[in-house]
Structure formats: C-alpha cells, structure tokens
Chains A and B, each alone.
Chain A
Amino acid sequence: MELIENIQNGERAAIAKAITLVESSKDSDQQISRQLISELIKKPGKSIRIGFSGPPGVGKSTFIESFGSYLVTQNYKLGILAIDPSSQITGGSILGDKTRMVEISKNPNTFIRSTPSRGALGGISMGTREASIILDAAGYDFIFIETVGVGQSEIVASNLVDIFTLIVGPGSGDELQGIKKGITEYADIFIVNKNDGELKIEASKTAADYKSALSYYKKLDELEKQVLLVSAIEQTGMEEVIKTINQIVDQNKLKGIFEERRANQLEYWIEEEVKNIIASDITKRLSSTGNISKYSEKVMKNEMSMFEAVEKITKDTLK
C-alpha cells in the first residue's frame, strides 16, 4: 500500500488519513484499516507511549503543552492523541484541546489529533490503539494519549500505553478513599498539577497524601510509585517528569517488565477483539430470532421462570 510508505515517510496527510480510517465506523474502512495495521505492526518503531489521564479540568492538555514544549526543544518528535471528553451523546462535539496546546501545535515536530470520545468506554475512542501504532510507524519518539479518567477507564487506557500517568489537582486527596488498590497497579506516576500561586500549599499537601496512601499499597518487588509536583502553567517540574519517565522505562526494560506489558496488552487486545466480534455477532443473531421478546412475554405470563428463559435463549443462540 502506498499509504504505508507515506506513513513511514512521516507524511502528515497520510498519517491523518490513516487515523481517519481506523476511527471510521464504516465496514469498508475497517477492512482497509485491518490490513494497514497488520502491515504496520510488523515493523514496530521505537516510540514510548505515555498515557495522561485524569478528571476534566485538572490541566491535562495544558500539561501536555507545557511538557511537550520541553520535549520538542530537546528535538524529540511528539505525537499526541487527545480524546476529547466534550462530546455530547446526541450532538456533536467541540474539540478545543488545541486552544490549550498553542505552542506545540505550531511545532513541526509534533502531530496532534483530537478525537471525540462519544461516550465510549474508558474515554478511549474506537481506534486509539491503532492510531498509536500509526504514529509509531511514522517515527514519533513519544506518543501521548490524553484521556479523561473516570472509574473503569483507567484500566482501558492503561492497556494502551507503556507508562500510565494519573494527573490530579490540588485538594484531590479527599478522593483518595476512592483510589483502591487497583489504580496503583495501573498508574506508574502520579502528577499533582497546579502547584503554583495560592494553590501551592494545597498541592504539596495533596502530594504528601498520595505518597502515604501509595506506600501503603506498595508491593515488595515493585518500584516505588512516583508522586510529582508540577505547574503546567508555570512550566515547573518538567525535568523531574522526564527523568522519572526515563527511569521507569529503563528499569522496566531491564527487568523485562516493558516487554511483558506489551505482551499482556497484545493478549488483552486480541481478547477484546474476539469479544467484540462475538458480541456483535450474537447481537445480530438475537435480533434476528426475536427470542428475547418472545421469551420475556412467556415470563410475563408466568409460563416459565426468568432463568429458564435465559438458559433457553442462550442455548438457542449458541447452537
């Protein structure tokens, strides 16, 4: 495919069109997209994928602008996938991330793509993983994935990246009760943003709260989870962030964790794809037989129990 060559040559328009394909809901696009990804995946690039997750308004986009500017001055090539939460379920969306990434978006060493999440699970849109494969093939050193973090979504998002970062705001220590054991397994770095002006004291306190909570959950053989203080607006703390990222990458590579994660993610991906296909197949079958409404009527009329109905439908559908 010519497209592949153009992507590998780093042609902006080709990369962009390929991402459109992998995001498309059209069957014919999906077919091309599968071929494309199968090819690209054969020759993986060198990129490190980093996820930045956190509640809306904590400053993820601003942080990426600030941290990204720092990286591009060091001549790194930076691909950014911003999954924009502003989508409304019925309407369209306003993708405003670029108004927060003014400086880096001008830089020729960046590629920035916003995607409406349309309420998809985990704030990850269809095609995010594939898009990061495209950017990898195009030769980007770092791929940033910005997602809204709510509940479940961290798990989904963390399965797309090599390093998963949770960005939180000053005062969010109150939500620490909500941080169950789970999240400490998924997040590698915790960034407390807005460490500036009047918020400084609160930010330090929040960082301390996180540190103590995290030490509580720490596993014996694990690296200590890092809690970093930054101000995206004042661009402070950025060296610490890159240092920490490099450290974790090196460590993980050394211990084989890096490859292990990628292998697990591949497994997860395959599992997801299989589940998706089965699920959509079954949905089709269910609607074609009309079994659901047929049997619920029987249940309503007390002709069979609800569990009998379930068993019957399942058997029927899977045969």
Chain B
Amino acid sequence: MNNKSNNGFNTWQKSFEKETKKNFSDANSETDEGIEIKPVYTRDDLENFSFVENNSLPGQWPFTRGPKASMYTNRPWTIRQYAGFSTAEESNEFYKKNLESGQKGLSVAFDLPTHRGYDSDDDLVMGDVGKAGVAIDTVEDMKILFNNIPLDQMSVSMTMNGAVLPVLASFIVAGEEQGVDRSLLSGTIQNDILKEFMVRNTYIYPPEPSMKIVADIIEFTSKEMPKFNSISISGYHMQEAGADNVLELAYTLADGMEYVRAALSKDLDVDDFAPRLSFFFAIGTDFFMEIAKLRAARTLWAKIMKDFGAKNERSLILRTHCQTSGVSLTEKDPYNNIIRTSYEALSAILGGTQSLHTNSFDEAIALPTDESARIARNTQLILQNETGVTKTVDPLAGSYFVENLTEELSKKAWDIITEIEELGGMTKAVKAGIPKLKIEESATKKQAKVDSGSRVVVGVNKYKNPKEPSVDVRVIDNNRVRDDQIKKIQAIKESRDTIAVEKALANLTDAAKDETNLLAPCIEAIKLRATVGEVSKALEQVYGRHFAKSLSVSGVYGKHFEGDKDFMKVEKKVIDFENANGRRPRVLVVKIGQDGHDRGAKIVATSFADMGFDVDMGPLFQSPKDVAKDAIENDVHAIGVSTLAAGHKTLVPELMKALSNIDPKSKIIVFVGGIIPEQDYEFLYKNNVSAIFGPGSNIIECAEKVIDLISDNLSKE
C-alpha cells in the first residue's frame, strides 16, 4: 500500500505547507552524517530495506532489537561508572563508596603515565602522575586498588591499550594473590589499539607489534579466562574526537573485523573468541540517531560475523557498553549538563545498551567530585527505578522514523566499511592516517557550526547565564601522589629479587623477538614485582616507540565562514600585521606531557591558519624544553599551549623556565587553552600567561585576541 499517493497524505502535506509556509520539498534537514531527515515518516518508509528486517524479534537474527530476548525486563543494564584518580588507595575508597550507593560494576581509569608505559618516577611524566586517572606502577598498587573488592564477584572493566600487557598481567596476579583463579575473573580489557592511533593517543609501539599484542591477549583470554571480555572495540573515542555517527559506526566495525582477522591468524576458531568480543559506543545529543546507531551496529555485526563463518549464535551478537558524550558537556552554565546527560542516557537505554556510564556535570572542568558523581549515578538509578523504561524491550521498534534511520545508518556505514576493506583493512587505513584526518575534518566542521551560531549550544553561544555558578572541583596534588608512588617503587625495588626480575625481563625481550604469546612471560615478570615501566621498556627494546606522523586538514573551517564579517575582520588584521611587521603572526600550538587530547589543538591550528596565521604544529608528548627550543628556533610570536589533562600547573611554569633558559630576553608570549578550572587562572596569570581560553571558546574571538596581544607585545619593544 502506498501512503504517499493516498488522499490522507496529500491533505497532510497541504496542511504542513500552510503551517510552515514552506514547500514540502524544502522541508528536510540534514544531519552531520549527511542523512536527510524528513518532517514526517510513514509506513512507506519501512520498505526496500536491505539491512533491517521488519519482523525480527529481540535476541534473534539480525539482533537489531537487542542481544537478548528479555533485555531489561529481566535485568536492567549495568551501571558502570568510569573512574580513577590519584593513588590506588584513594581510588579504592572511591570505588567502595560508589558500590555501596548502587553502582554495579567497576571501570578503572588509569593515569596517563601508566597508559603510556612509564613509571611514576620517570622524568618524562613529571606533570601527569595521578592527574587524569589512577597511577599503577606495580602489582602492589593493583592489589590496593581492589582491596576488599572480591574479584570473583565484581566485574571489572579496564581502559588500557598501550600498556595492556603489564596491566592485564597485574590484574591477573592481583586476583591470584587475592585467592581468585584467573578463570573466575570477569570483566573487560579495552585492548583496542587501532583507535589509539586514530584518536586516543595512548599507543606505545608501532601498529604491527601492537596488533600482535592484541591478538596475544585474545588468544590467552579465550583459553584461560572464559568470563573475561578480551577486547572492547571502541567507537566512543572517535565520536568524542569529532566523528559523526556514521564514521564512528563504520570505523568501529571495521576495526572489529581487523581484530577478528588478527585472532584468526592465531589458529583460533572464530567461535572460540567471538562471543568474548565486546563494543563501546558514545551517545551524543542527537537523540534518535544514537538509538538507531546501536540498532544498526548490532544488525551489521551479525552480518559481518556470519560472513566470517561464525556458527555459534553468540558470536553474531554485538554486546556493548555506552558512555554519554563528554564533549557535548560545557564549562559554561554547567548544571545544563545534568539535563543533557539524562537525555543521552535515555537514548542509550532505548538503543539497548548492556551497560552505561553517565558523565558528571563538572565534566568540562575537572574529574568528578563525590557529589557530582552521585548525581551522575542517580541519573541511571532514576531511569531504572522510576521511569518504567525497563518494562518493554526495544520500545521504538516499528517506529517509521527510527527503523528508517537504522537502515540509513547501516547503509552509509556499510559503504565506508566496504571502502576500507577494499583498501586492505583498517590497519592499513590507520597507518596512512586517513580515518584520523576524516574525523578531524568532521570535528572542525562541528566547531565551525558552533562558532558561527548555526548550531545552538545552550549557555555557550545562546541563552548565556549572566551569573555563572561557581562549582567545587576535585583537586589532585600530583606532586604528593608522585612522591608517594616513588616511595612505593623504591621500597619494592629494594625488597624484590633483582636478579630474578632482570632475568624475567630478559626473557620477555627474547619472547618479543619471535611469535611467542607475551602474556605468560609478562605475568612472570609482574609476579616478581617488575614495574609497568620496566615491562614496557623490555618490549620497547624490540619494538621501538611509535611516533605519530600527524597530518592536518586545511580550509574546512574557513569555508564555513565565507563572507562572514568577524572572520574577515581577523583576516584583515592579519594582513595589516604582515604589512607592519614584515611577516604574518606566527603561533606555535603545542601539547606538553602525556596529554593526548589533540582535538582542540588541531582545530585551533587549522582554523588559525585559515584566518591567515602561520601556525607551527608541535608533535604530541613534547617536554617543556622541546617546546621552548622549537618556539625559539622558529622565532614565533606566541606559544599556545593546549592542555586538558590537568598538567598545566606543573608544565606551564616549566615552559616559562625553559624559554628563559634558552633566551633570557625572550619576548615570546604564552597563552593557554583547554580544561583550566577557574581556581587556577590566577596561578597561571602570575606565571606570565597572557590569556586563557577555556572550553567553548569561539575560535575567531580567540584569534582576534591573540593577534591583539601579539601586537601589543611588539609595540612594547
């Protein structure tokens, strides 16, 4: 039956055109993904599907409607809040409190030194210890982290990718020393290295050996840890880095295919490991799109695994964790974030997630406080207990719109997956840097939409709060944490059997030279109290450390502002500056320390260049000294430090020192962007920072201020 040609539809269309004073044909809108959204959907929109099957049921092929038949009607999703900070002792306290208040599973956030395989006493990580996660140097720390938390009963998720071997080994040994056999451990290790090269940036080794390590872990867990998810194939970080939903979906599933192939190369049968592959997606503010994404993900994965020859039904099923979007949350008017997070959480639930993290309202300010974490957790408890959403499985099935969107997303993602497969798979694509660049392009477009006001963010570019509330922040004294960790490391190094440790590390290095599975020799070394850093270095001797070659998009931001008054005003200032000074304003944009959040830095760099600046882009993981050398050699007018992982109070003063060490008369001005709690502004200004640009800053306004400050500074000479 054709709805469009019947009378009812024609009448509706006329009324629509009358009410909106628009032609029906002009009434569609376009999403970030390039999907056309119609003002109304009808039964006709359920036809000609090639992915979605109209009459499927939950827990049945193609699993669009959910991995299980009963879903939340039997057991609600797991409330699993991602957390970790400072020392193992403090994080352990925090975990126990949360579990008492209704949280069901644990999810460990490690600090950046641990992620990147450095011990807390390494000079390279001076500003980063315990700041953005918990510091783990040895198995002793891991044991403290789970003190009084029985590991045979608690499922533990660990976000670890770079230093995945020593950290998983520490977890296994901590369990054993708690009296729990590894076969009883349940939980998930993220172990998804491809997205690290794309967006998350806590890789250690080059792509090939890294992929080998992933496969080692899948092999080991499939044989020895039947209750443990060997990998969490993550799109979450891609969306947070700026990917739209199609990119997130396609790249995640394409990554998944690559991991399946890596595991198959270990002579495993696909059904030996596939049921233990798990996924992780972000849930942003586009309400229906996110619901459709989870449904599409399950649909496509079932098809993909069938093509891989999976026979066990459980191999076909995509199970996923979700997290509400952090990047949708704002520093300005932060209580709005509670509302945003609630809608996103609902979206994740309607999409059928297996577990969920909800963000705290102080997301764009610092790590959550006890209080903000409580509200975040309660958001889920209220959904589970008060709203009735658990009582019906996949309640949006049959919705003309949602089903159609599920099909559209599936199609678009499938096209990209096919393209990547033709290129030779995700590892190759990642090495060539294509996905990263596509995500950065998408991120830059989003920034342009917000800066131009064509996308409204309440409290940021519209409906601003004239009286910004001030909120409490969690403060971490990283020097104290670092001192504590160093003491612990020293004590362990004094009491352990040094010769045995050295032998175990040498064994590990040897094992890395051939195809041996590396987890067993790692467990040996960790048992003997080798540190995370030592184990990582033992492997680095064979594999080397990876340095990313970063590419940049260009012209994407500028294109959005063709003819824009404010944009042209800055362009003109740049030209005037060049005429007066013999060259353009030149700015070095840098990341210092282990902070791998590069979205903001990359966007600012490309946007400044589009406005006419000469922008030097530093690599990731520079030390303050490296930055000073780079800045002085290129005689830049200013350095823009983009810092999001809370290292600023250590690293910015170090940079100032390094600059004057090379050139005591240095005139280079320094400004800072990123996550800076208001409480730290004064400290930075006292350290001669010229300006601070927090989250939500309009880049055109930043650029104007920067050029004005540079001109002021030059005129002082």
A and B, one complex? yes
- Which positions in A face B, CB cutoff 8 Å? 11-13, 15-17, 19-20, 23-26, 29, 62, 86, 88, 90-96, 98-100, 102-103, 105-106, 108, 111-114, 116
- List residues of chain B with CB under 8 Å of any chain A CB: 547-552, 554-555, 558, 574, 578, 581-584, 605-606, 608-619, 623, 625-626, 629-630, 632-635, 662-663, 665-666
Residue contact A88 to B609, C-beta cutoff 8 Å: yes
Give chain B residues whose Cβ lies under 8 Å from the Cβ of A108.
629
Contact of A111 with B633 in the complex, beta carbons under 8 Å: yes
- Distance A23 CA – B634 CA, assembled complex (angstroms): 12
Give the complex CA separation of A317 and B631 in angstroms.
46
Q: How distant is the Cα of A29 from the Cα of B579 in the complex, in angstroms? A: 12
**Which residue from chain A places its CB closest to the CB of B631 in the assembled complex?**
A16
Find out whether the CB atom of B610 lies under 8 angstroms from the CB atom of A91: yes
Q: How far is the CA of A15 from the CA of B663 in the complex (A)?
A: 11
Contact of B614 among A11, A15, A106, A116 (CB under 8 A): A116
Decide: A13 and B662 in contact? CB cutoff 8 A: yes
- Cβ contact within 8 Å between A12 and B663: yes
Q: Within the assembled complex, what's the spacing in Å between the Cα atoms of A29 and B609?
A: 24
Quote the shortest CB–CB distance from A98 to chain B (angstroms): 6
The complex places the Cα of A94 from the Cα of B555 at a distance, in Å, of 11
- State in angstroms the CA–CA spacing of A105 and B609 once bound together: 23
Q: Are A92 and B662 in touch, CB under 8 angstroms?
A: no
Q: Does A96 lie within 8 Å of B582, measured CB to CB?
A: no
Partner of B609, one of A11, A17, A93: A93
In whole angstroms, how far apart are the Cα atoms of A15 and B662 in the complex? Answer: 12
Q: Which B residue's beta carbon lies closest to that of A17?
A: B635
CA distance in complex: A106, B628 (Å): 10
Q: How far is the CB of B581 from chain A (nearest CB, A)?
A: 7
Complex Cα spacing A26 to B581, Å: 7
Give chain A nearest CB distance to B411 CB in angstroms: 32
Partner of B554, one of A23, A88, A112: A88
- Contacting pair B633 A113 (CB below 8 A): yes
Indicate if the CB atoms of A91 and B611 lie closer than 8 Å: yes
Chain A residues with CB under 8 Å of B558's CB are 91
Q: How far is the CA of A92 from the CA of B703 in the complex (A)?
A: 13
Given contacts A92-B608, A96-B552, A98-B619, contact A114 B583 (CB under 8 A): no
In Å, the complex CA distance between A25 and B611 comes to 20
Q: Are B635 and A16 in contact (CB under 8 A)?
A: yes
List, in ascending order, chain A residues with CB within 8 A of B618's CB: 98-99
| Minimum distance in angstroms from B618 CB to a CB of chain A | 6
Instruction: Name the one of A16, A94, A96 contacting B633, with C-beta atoms under 8 angstroms.
Output: A16
Name 14 interchain pairs, CB-CB below 8 A, sorted by A: A16-B632, A29-B582, A86-B552, A88-B554, A92-B608, A92-B611, A93-B609, A96-B551, A98-B617, A98-B618, A99-B548, A106-B625, A111-B633, A113-B633
Contact between A91 and B612, CB atoms less than 8 A apart: yes
A13 neighbours in B (Cβ, 8 Å): 632, 635, 662-663, 665-666
- Name which residue of chain B comes closest to A16, CB basis: B635
Q: Judge whether A86 and B619 touch: CB under 8 Å.
A: no
Identity of the chain A residue whose Cβ is nearest the Cβ of B208 in the assembled complex: A197
Nearest-neighbor residue (CB-CB) of B621 within chain A: A102
Bound Cα distance from A113 to B614, whole angstroms: 13
Measured CB to CB, the nearest residue on chain A to B584 is: A92
B635 to A96, Cβ gap below 8 A?
no
Residues on A with C-beta less than 8 A from B548 are 99
Q: Which residues of B contact A17 (CB under 8 A)?
A: 635
Cβ-defined contact, B635 with A114, below 8 A: no
A303 CA to B606 CA in the complex, in Å? 53
Q: What is the bound-complex CA distance between A192 and B662, given in angstroms?
A: 38
Take A20-B583, A91-B555 as given contacts and tell me if A103 and B633 are in contact as well, using a CB distance cutoff of 8 Å: no
- Measured between beta carbons, the chain B residues less than 8 angstroms from A96 are 550-552, 617
Do residues B635 and A20 form an inter-chain contact, with CB atoms below 8 A? yes
Residue A95 contacts which of B547, B614, B662, B663 (CB distance < 8 angstroms)? B614
Is the beta-carbon distance between A91 and B629 smaller than 8 angstroms? no
Contact A94 B663 (CB under 8 A): no
Complex: A299 Cα to B132 Cα, angstroms: 74
State the Cβ distance, B703 to closest chain A Cβ, in Å: 10
The residue of chain A having its C-beta at the shortest distance from the C-beta of B557 within the complex is A91
Check if A94 sits within 8 Å of B632, measured CB to CB. no
Whether B547 contacts A106 by the Cβ 8 Å rule is no
How many angstroms from the CA of A56 to the CA of B555 in the assembled complex?
18
* Bound: A96/B552 CA distance, A: 8
Cα of A81 to Cα of B464 in the assembled complex, Å: 48
Q: Which residues of B contact A92 (CB under 8 A)?
A: 574, 584, 608-615
CB pair A62 B549 closer than 8 Å? yes
Given A12-B632, A12-B662, 8 extra CB contacts under 8 A: A12-B663, A26-B581, A26-B582, A62-B549, A91-B611, A94-B606, A100-B549, A102-B547
Q: How far is the CA of A225 from the CA of B625 in the complex (A)?
A: 42
8 A-B pairs with the lowest CB-CB distances in the bound complex, closest first: A26-B582, A24-B582, A13-B663, A16-B635, A99-B619, A92-B613, A99-B550, A92-B609
Q: Which chain B residue has the least Cβ–Cβ distance from A62?
A: B549
Residues of A within 8 A of B609 (CB): 88, 91-94
How far is A239 from B354 in the complex, measured between Cα atoms in Å? 56
Output the least CB separation between A85 and chain B (Å): 12
Q: B381: shortest Cβ distance to chain A, in Å?
A: 45
A164, B254: Cα distance in complex, Å:
44
Which residues of chain B come closer than 8 Å to A106, judged between CB atoms? 623, 625-626, 629
CB distance from B442 to the nearest CB of A (A): 18
Contact B583 A12 (CB under 8 A): no
* Bound-complex Cα distance A169 to B84 (A): 47
Query: A16 and B574: CB pair below 8 A?
Result: no
A88 x B619 contact (CB < 8 A) = no
Given A91-B610, A92-B615, A98-B616, are A103 and B547 also a contact pair (CB < 8 Å)?
yes
Instruction: Report B-chain residues with C-beta under 8 Å of the C-beta of A20.
Output: 583, 635
Looking at the assembled complex, report how far the CB atom of A209 sits from the nearest CB atom of chain B, in whole angstroms.
25
With the chains together, A111 CA to B554 CA distance in Å? Answer: 27
Complex contacts, B630 vs chain A, CB 8 Å = 98, 105, 112
Taking CB atoms, residues of chain A closer than 8 Å to B666 are: 13
A16 to B628, CA, bound (A): 13
A19 to B617, CA, bound (A): 19
Give the residues in chain B near A113, CB-CB below 8 Å: 633-634
Closest residue of chain A to B605 (Cβ to Cβ) is: A94
Please indicate the chain A residues that have their CB under 8 angstroms from the CB of B615 in the complex. Answer: 92-95
Once the chains are docked, how many angstroms separate the CA of A90 from the CA of B555?
10
- The answer to whether B634 touches A25 (Cβ under 8 A) is no
Contact B614 A25 (CB under 8 A): no
Q: A13-B663, A92-B613, A112-B633 are in contact. Are A24 and B547 (CB under 8 A)?
A: no
Q: Which residues from B are CB-within-8-Å of A111?
A: 633
Cα separation A90 to B610 with both chains bound (whole Å): 9
The answer to whether B619 and A12 touch across the interface, beta carbons within 8 angstroms, is: no
Neighbouring A residues of B619 by C-beta, 8 Å? 98-99, 102
Residue picked from A25, A93, A108, most chain B C-beta under 10 Å: A93
Q: How far is the CB of B700 from chain A (nearest CB, A)?
A: 14
Give A93 to B587 CA distance when docked, in angstroms.
11
Q: B262 → chain A, closest Cβ, in Å? A: 17
Which of chain B's residues has its CB closest to A15's CB? B633
**Distance (whole angstroms) from the CB of A172 to the closest CB of chain B:** 18
Given contacts A92-B612, A94-B552, A94-B609, contact A105 B626 (CB under 8 A): yes
Beta-carbon nearest neighbor of B575 in chain A:
A90
Give the complex CA separation of A102 and B612 in angstroms. 26
Q: Give A29 to B626 CA distance when docked, in angstroms.
A: 29
A-side contacts of B663, CB under 8 Å: 11-13
Q: CB-nearest residue of chain A relative to B663?
A: A13
Residues of chain A within 8 A (CB-CB) of B634 are 16, 95, 112-114
A112 to B584, CA, bound (A): 19
Q: Across the interface, do B578 and A25 meet the contact criterion of CB distance under 8 Å?
A: yes
Which residues of the other chain, A, contact B626 by a CB distance below 8 angstroms?
105-106
Shortest CB–CB separation between residue A233 and chain B, in angstroms?
9
The complex places the Cα of A106 from the Cα of B261 at a distance, in Å, of: 38
| Chain A nearest Cβ from B607, distance in angstroms | 10
Distance between Cα atoms of A190 and B574 in the complex (Å): 40
Query: In the complex, how many angstroms separate the beta carbon of B508 from the nearest chain A beta carbon?
Result: 23
Contact at A93–B617, with CB atoms within 8 Å? no
Nearest B residue to A61 via CB reads: B549
The residue of chain B having its C-beta at the shortest distance from the C-beta of A106 within the complex is B626
